[in-house]
């Protein structure tokens, strides 16, 4: 299972305090050269991953040294990005920023030449709570509206999501299994495209992450129906959970930075330290608050424990739904 949010918050606070204590020594100990660091994202631009990674890209060069570029590669359902990082020189300059879909799920269901053990977490950005949303002028405005409409007209409600069998798709599958509802699934390249399709009236519902739609919900341009978590999202505090509506579907996720397992340990340790120092800076905190990223970083050791727990948890879900043996 996933680590509890309370445990992660306490660990994050301790880790950030430790990073700040050693801040004066980080620059002198850098194993990195001057080449840029690439944060490669397996989704299209404009989604939660992109928004969050850009907070780090804007603030970390002061602490890490090299320039940091955010690169979106949504091809092959995210595997283009994963394989690009996998095949890069293992020097810490090419890193993967992803949720569990393109790395954990794909490691189970896709024909890949790597295993889950071929990746090592550098740092976890935050916990993510998948949220279902629509337009404010749509007939569906609540979870109950959705259930009633899907029961009355099966296979007619179009539902957009990125990352097949990932964090904005698996909760929908589990919800359909619990309720018996049937929706028309519409894969997208990421949260940005999903949002555009919903707002443009091309699909009925979408699932994404709170940072991707928080400003539109606040301005009344979108309606958030529900969150797949035990507790409400602090970014969307007025949005109920599916548990509150009587549906026991809870599947939170994370956003992590990964290096390949052959990147030297001292390089990973330096990246962890300078990234976490950057995210503890006043500039990063202000940026995170402004874009509703909800960044609460975890160090490499705690991120590894979370990653390994997710590998086990998602494997169990995929077996339960018949995707793997």
Q: Is it the case that residue 319 has pLDDT exceeding 80? A: yes
Structure tokens given for 82: 């994963």
Q: What is the pTM of this model?
A: 0.81
Say whether pLDDT at 314 is over 70: yes
Cα 51 from Cα 238, distance rounded (Å): 22
Mean pLDDT (whole number) for 58-77 = 94
Query: Considering only CA atoms, which of 74, 52, 76, 80 is closest in space to residue 257?
Result: 52
Q: Which has more confidence, 6 or 230?
A: 230
Q: What is the pLDDT of residue 29?
A: 57
Helix (H, G, I), strand (E, B) or coil at 97: strand
Query: Domains of the chain, with CATH numbers?
Result: 5-128+254-320 (3.40.190.150), 131-227 (3.40.190.10)
Two tokens, residue 240: 């109920």
- What is the rounded end-to-end Cα distance, in angstroms, of the chain? 20
The β-bridge partners of 223 are 134
In this predicted structure, what is the pLDDT of residue 30? Answer: 74
Best CA proximity match to 97, nearest among 130, 55, 125, 117: 125
Q: Which helix (H) or strand (E) holds 75?
A: none
> How high is the pLDDT of residue 32?
87
- Render pLDDT for 260-269 as a digit per residue (tens, 0 to 9): 999 999 999 9
Give 128's contacts (C-beta < 8 A, 6+ positions apart): 48, 99, 167, 209, 210, 252, 253, 254, 255
Mean pLDDT of 227-240: 94
């Amino acid at each position: 299972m996933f680590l509890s949010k309370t445990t992660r918050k306490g660990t994050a606070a301790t880790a950030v305090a430790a990073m700040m204590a050693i801040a004066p020594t980080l620059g002198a100990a850098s194993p990195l050269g001057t080449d840029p660091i690439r944060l490669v994202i397996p989704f299209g631009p404009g989604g939660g991953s992109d928004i969050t990674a850009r907070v780090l890209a804007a603030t970390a060069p002061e602490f890490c040294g090299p320039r940091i570029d955010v690169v979106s590669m949504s091809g092959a359902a995210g595997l283009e990005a994963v394989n690009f990082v996998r095949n890069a020189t293992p020097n810490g300059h090419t890193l993967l920023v992803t949720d569990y879909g393109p790395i954990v799920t794909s490691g189970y269901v896709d024909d890949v030449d790597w295993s889950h053990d071929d990746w090592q977490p550098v740092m976890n950005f935050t916990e993510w709570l998948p949220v279902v949303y629509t337009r404010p002028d749509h007939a569906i405005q609540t979870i109950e509206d959705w259930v009633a409409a899907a029961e009355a007209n099966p296979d007619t409600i179009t539902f957009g999501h990125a990352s097949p069998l990932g964090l904005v798709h698996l909760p929908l599958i589990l919800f359909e299994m619990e309720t018996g509802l049937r929706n028309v699934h519409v894969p997208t390249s990421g949260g940005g495209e999903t949002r555009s399709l919903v707002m443009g009236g091309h699909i009925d519902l979408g699932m994404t992450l709170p940072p991707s739609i928080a400003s539109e919900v606040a301005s009344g341009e979108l309606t958030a129906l529900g969150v797949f978590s035990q507790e409400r999202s602090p970014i969307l505090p007025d949005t109920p959970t599916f548990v509150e509506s009587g549906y026991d579907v809870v599947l939170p996720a994370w956003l992590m930075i990964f290096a390949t397992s052959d990147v030297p340990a001292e390089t990973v340790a330096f990246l962890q330290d300078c990234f976490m120092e950057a995210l503890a800076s006043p500039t990063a905190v202000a940026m995170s608050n402004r874009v509703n990223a909800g960044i609460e970083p975890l160090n490499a050791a705690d991120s590894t424990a979370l990653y390994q727990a997710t590998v086990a948890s998602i494997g169990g879900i995929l077996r339960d739904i018949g995707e793997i043996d």
